[in-house]
Amino acid sequence: MQQRQLGTLFPVSTLALGGGGLGMLWGTTTFEECVATVHAAVEAGINLLDLAPRYGDGKAEQVVGDAFNGHLPTGVHVTSKCNLGNPPPDRVYRLLRESIETSLRLLKLDRLDIFFLHSNLAPDGHPMWNRADVSRFTPMSLYRSHVRPAFEKLKSEGLIAAWGITGIGHPDAIIQALTEAPKPAAVQVIANLLDSPGGLKFYEEPARPRDIMAAARANGVGVMGIRAVQAGALTARIDRELPPDHPEVLDYARAAGFRALCAEIGEDPAIIAHRYALCLPIDTLVLGVKNRAELAGCVAAASAGPLSPDLVARIDAAGRGG
């Protein structure tokens, strides 16, 4: 599989294997099938496994731990994350360290290659702090005063090789974080034709993922694309029951024109959605697959190469107008 440089870190495969499917969040699968999917991914040339405790309450990390029993194949890298929220400042380091220690125990490893802040970065005083679900938010003031220093300390202690941020918070806050030292080594950015975070969006303003990609590029920060199929909204059908007003269901309706275009050209929407995402300025695209069949489709999409500029333009028109 083709590789690209992940910022200042290491060469990374065009595709990365995400933990959402392995944690059994995206439809029915089994633990054994998830382990087999991890092995198949590495055999296909994928060298980055992107995990988090939130993916199935540790199941995704346990899957990888069982798959390799603490002995990762040469060149394979593993990430994890922490949904820190907004704790008292004097607890930040301890909470991050405890999250890392739990992940390492499940993974049967002694170090993470990248450790991500999984919380939504939020500007201090922004209206999004009036929501009921603010436990997912980390204020920029805390990020600057305690989170970044804690990440740097964890690096110096050898528990993590690098750290990054998940770019699904407020775009102004994320872009600020990408320009201020010490900078994250990597950022995870929404990479789909709708530019939609779906149910992960907690503010009224546009998400602006392409501005975030541009800021990362300008500052030497590695870019990991996420949610290429927007949690199923850009597939032929959503594979789990959701209420009619759920953001993913609403995005599925928005994508009607995209699905019609895929039917016209005789292509699977999920495959085209992945190929579209790979045309964006990212270093690797994180997959949310839950079995080997879905993985094989994504590997085939990457092998097929970039879409033509004409088809990209048609998808943009269909996706935004559908």
| Enclosing domain of residue 153 | 3-245+269-307
In a domain, 252, yes or no: no
Q: What's the half-sphere exposure (Cβ side, CA atoms, 13 Å) at 253?
A: 6
Q: What is the pLDDT of residue 26?
A: 65
In a domain, 315, yes or no: no
- Reported pTM: 0.95
Give the pLDDT score at 56: 61
Average pLDDT of the residues in 289-318: 93
Tell me if the bond preceding 73 is cis, omega within 30° of 0.
no
**pLDDT value, residue 322:** 43
> pLDDT digits over 237-280, tens only?
887 788 999 999 999 999 999 999 999 999 999 999 999 999 99
Taking the C-alpha atoms of residue 253 and residue 257, their distance in angstroms, rounded to an integer, is 9
Report if residue 260 sits inside a domain: no
Residue 75 sits in a domain of what CATH number? 3.20.20.100
Cα–Cα distance for residue pair 322/320, rounded to 1 Å: 6
Domains: count for the chain: 1
Assign residue 2 a region (left: φ > 0; alpha: ψ between -120 and 50; beta: otherwise): beta
Mean pLDDT of 173-186: 98
User: Does 71 have pLDDT greater than 80?
Assistant: yes
| Distance set, CA 175 to CA 104, 121, 249, 276 (Å) | 30, 10, 29, 23
The span from the CA of 41 to the CA of 293, in Å, is 11
Q: What is the mean pLDDT of the chain?
A: 94
Tell me whether residue 321 is in a domain: no
Please, are residues 196 and 233 in contact by the beta-carbon 8 Å criterion? Answer: yes
Q: Which helix (H) or strand (E) holds 56?
A: none
Task: Look at residues 25, 286, 62 and name the one whose alpha carbon lies nearest to residue 168.
Answer: 286
Strand (E) or helix (H) holding 16: strand 15-18
- The residue count of the chain comes to 322
Whether residue 65 is contained in a domain is answered as yes
Query: Is 314 part of a structural domain of the chain?
Result: no
Q: How far, in Å, CA of 222 to CA of 225, rounded?
A: 10
Cα–Cα distance, 289 to 177 (Å, whole number): 30
Q: Is residue 320 part of a domain?
A: no
Interior angle at CA 164, CA 214 and CA 68, nearest 5: 120
Contact of 307 with 38, CB cutoff 8 Å: no
Average the pLDDT over each of 21-30, 158-167, 288-297 and give the range with the smallest value. 21-30
pLDDT digits (tens, 9 = 90+) for 114-141: 999 999 999 999 999 999 889 999 999 9
Residues in Cβ contact with 231 at an 8 Å cutoff, skipping those fewer than 6 apart: 26, 198, 199, 238, 248, 288
The Cα-based distances of 196 to 69, 168, 180, 210, 217 in angstroms read: 37, 10, 26, 11, 20
122-151: buried (b, 16+ CB within 10 Å) or exposed (e) per residue? bbeebebeeeeebebbbbbebbeebbbebb
Residue 319 lies in a domain: no
